[in-house]
Chains A and B, each alone.
Chain A
Amino acid sequence: MLKNERLVPLLATLAVLILLYGIGMSQYRNFASTLVLGNLLTDNAFLITAAIGMTFVILSGGIDLSVGSMIAFIGVLFAILVRDAGWHPLGAAAAALLFGVLFGAAMGWLIDSFDIQPFIVTLAGMFLLRGLAFVMSLESIPIVHPAMDAFAGFRIPLPGRGGLSASALVMLGALVLGIILAHRTRFGTNVYAVGGDKVSAALLGVPIRRTTVGIYAVSGFYSSLAGVLYTLYTASGYPLAAVGVELDAIAAVVIGGTLLTGGIGYVIGTLFGGLIQGVIQTLIAFDGSLNSWWTKIAIGGLLFTFIVLQRLITRSFSSLRKG
């Protein structure tokens, strides 16, 4: 019974995704083409990547508000390393990921060792990264490098006119890595344990400090990877980029069926949650008569529906516990 209830949010998400895609296909002939699918994966690659990292944080009952700023900071860092320092983009990407992991780990350490709410620590991280990005550059920095063109030009053709771009492939790879990490390793089990009940987890011998540092390091890794993808996607670094992406990422995780109270959810759901946002955007773009702000309202409405659904499920959980 319990196991089935855990699947309810995930199944609801999948149903919404299929429903929206079905609406698209019935309205527009081109919607079913692999071109739309390929673009959907490419355009939302950075958001979904960031949201995978956010999934770990939310599973543990925390929150990471520094994601959008991290993307912008990595973009500027990447651009400066490639343009001014003459690094190869691969080296710049490695440096970016290393920075992301270290920064995330530092936030995790602060949260656990000083017992401060994740929300406010990552808020400070958000200010700091956005500020540092501004300090490094105020303008958008274009990046020109042969390796960038090779990355942008690469694609695996799909039947039809579409194809899987390099960003989409990186995102799917990151997704597989996330699924393995969450569901097949001891670290993943610890994350669920901390999110379910921190005190019980500590009593059962889960290393809280190491797990918390690890969770935010994972989030830092994924958000810096999202930063690299975003930089390659736009071929520039801009300190004002990706404002508010942390909210989109949280929305993707929640719509993807992960409970905000922590402990329950699946990484794959986040892919569906991110794709739902992408499909809504595509539907509104295809329609042409609707304005872009309908996207925000629609996502807000979905967020509301899923959160209420979650409440009902957690209520039935707690009534089960009480017997």
Chain B
Amino acid sequence: MKFLTLPGRRWLWPSIALVVILLTNLLLSPGFFSVRIVDDHLYGSLIDILHRGTPLAFVALGMAVVIATGGIDLSVGAIIAICGATMAVLLKGAGLSPALVLPIVLLVGLACGLWNGLLVAFLDIQPIVATLILMVAGRGIAQMITDGQIVTFHSDFFSLIGSGFFLGLPVRVLVVIGFAILLALLLRRTALGLFLESVGGNAAASRLAGIEARWIRLAAYAVSGICSALAGIVLTADIKGADANNAGLWLELDAILAVVIGGAALKGGRFALGLTLIGVLVIQSLTTSILVSGLPSQYTLVVKAIVVLAVLFLQSPRLQRLRSK
């Protein structure tokens, strides 16, 4: 069992969960692991899981950073809707070039994140509540931007991001991998990651240690805002249109779930980007498996609820105390 020698036991449970889900699929449909090459593209259920999991992966990375500080960001779905709407309107209505639209949309996401961060860090509002405001108002703002219409557009550049392939792999998957590496370098090769965890672990102590907790919190929500903007860009580019009502609906819940499956405590104090991505794969393969297995898709929510409860039991402080006895 070379598996057990992997560094740290934290990798064990999420990885086992992923392997179990994938193996169950193999039993249900023997062709599950087959990856074919059609028109120079890789095709197959595994590639499909990666492809569909991209928006969730972006959002979950941002959520992991926010949860590390002991916070939560409920507004990610609404930010996706706002960014998607902005992108579609700028491309279609204003006819701007993609090279200009891309940074503008990222700035919009950043602004949304800063708004959340301002409320949490500087007005001391609980994260659930502070981000609830944007969650409620955000879809209204997105609808205002699109004037209540579903705005469609055409752009070669964004088609490439949304549904294009590079070297046989979906471009969006490559983008998310690149982004995750960048984020990991930023957080783990500098002291930033450590600051995030110390603020989540004990805000008062970290302040005494000379860390500006408020600015760190603000930065965490800003990162989450940018992540949501990226997810919004991918989702909108994929369907070549902005749907203010449904873009990214319920994604915040899946993202929180992914982070929790990745072993992060909701109380904050630690984060692991790699584990979060495994959590994303667990959730996405769960969703895909339910579709592949022929089980009606309405069972997805029930299965997810059971998974949440199971993970909570394993993580519950009281149960862990019992186990250590």
Please report A residues at the B interface, Cβ cutoff 8 Å.
Answer: 63, 113-117, 119-121, 123-125, 127-128, 130-132, 134-135, 138, 239, 247, 250-251, 254, 260-261, 291, 293-297, 299-301, 303-304, 307-308, 311
Contact = CB atoms under 8 A, between A and B. Distances in A.
Given A115-B318, A120-B308, A124-B308, A297 B144 contact: yes
A253 to B, nearest CB: 11
Interface of B: 72, 119, 123-126, 128-130, 132-141, 143-144, 148, 244, 253, 256, 260, 266, 296, 298-306, 308-309, 312-313, 316-319
A299 B136 contact: yes
B312 A127 contact: no
Contacts of A120: 256, 260, 266, 308, 312
A295 to B, nearest CB: 7
A317 to B, nearest CB: 13
Contact of B137 (A130, A138, A260, A300): A300
Contact of B144 (A116, A134, A293): A293
A116 B318 CA distance: 9
Contacts of A261: 126
For chain B, what secondary structure do more than half of its interface residues adopt (helix, strand, loop), or is it mixed? helix
B136 A296 contact: yes
A134 B133 contact: no
Contact of A297 (B132, B140, B312): B140
A131 B125 contact: no
Q: Chain A's interface: helix, strand, loop or mixed, by majority?
A: helix
Given A132-B302, A261-B126, A311-B124, A251 B136 contact: yes
A198 B174 CA distance: 48
A113 B321 CA distance: 13
A296 B81 CA distance: 14
Contacts of B138: 300
Nearest to A311: B123
A311 B118 CA distance: 14
A174 to B, nearest CB: 24
Given A115-B317, A260-B126, A299-B136, A291 B305 contact: no
B123 A308 contact: yes
Contacts of B296: 135, 138
A62 B284 CA distance: 30
